[in-house]
Amino acid sequence: MASDIRNLADEEVMQLVQGGNPRAFELLYDRHGGAAFSLAYRMVGNRVTAEDITQEAFLSIWRSRTRYDQARGSVRTWVLGIVHNRAIDALRRGMVHDRRRETLDGVEERHEARERTDVEAARREEARGVRDALDTLPEEQRRTIELAYFGGFSHSQIAEMLEMPIGTVKGRMRLGLEKMRKQLTGVVLPGELA
């Protein structure tokens, strides 16, 4: 059976996983673990954190295995979506941790680097605005932008991951970035409604 299961399509393997088959889950990991780690690593830029994210994501996949719905996308898209969400959570946790660590750093260091602190504060405020603008986008636009900018994936890689035409990826990205630009700058072009 071990060799037979390796010949199954992802959706068939996922049906076995949904039934609680640990061999099928192992095969799912073998097939998608590398791409999952790659996505996590590109998003967080740290090997250990990416490994933790991948492990957390696959634990989550096992626990929520009955939620997979083939009608909503491929197994790979579902797996990478979970990894993506875990990586975003890790980035947010990291920002909280960084803020806590900053408050514990020496007061004298902060006073010596006053102008650097001001620049850093401005950068963080700008980043918060970008995150807020990103959170207002429809899911499909937000996801393509996050994969491109946080994940470092090209349009063609995103199209392959999400199993959609490259033109759709580019269109969603363009619309999302345009909405973000309007929100961040408050600029309304002639002929547009505010």
Answer whether 0.85 is exceeded by the pTM: no
Cα dihedral across residues 114, 116, 122, 125: positive or negative:
negative
- Cα–Cα distances (Å) from 16 to 11, 13, 37, 174, in that order, read 9, 5, 23, 39
Q: Are 87 and 95 in contact (CB under 8 A)?
A: no
pLDDT, position 130: 76
More confident residue, 124 or 68: 68
Least confident of 42-46, 135-139, 175-179, 186-190: 186-190
Enter the CATH code of domain 7-95.
1.10.1740.10
pLDDT, position 108: 47
Domain ranges across the chain: 7-95, 105-186
- pLDDT band for 190, please (50, 70, 90 cuts): low
**CATH architecture of residue range(s) 105-186:** Orthogonal Bundle (1.10)
Compute the distance between CA of residue 73 and CA of residue 76 in angstroms, rounded to an integer. Answer: 8
Q: Are 13 and 78 in contact (CB under 8 A)?
A: no
Compute the distance between CA of residue 83 and CA of residue 75 in angstroms, rounded to an integer. Answer: 12
- pLDDT band for 107, please (50, 70, 90 cuts): very low
- Answer whether residue 182 shows pLDDT above 70: yes
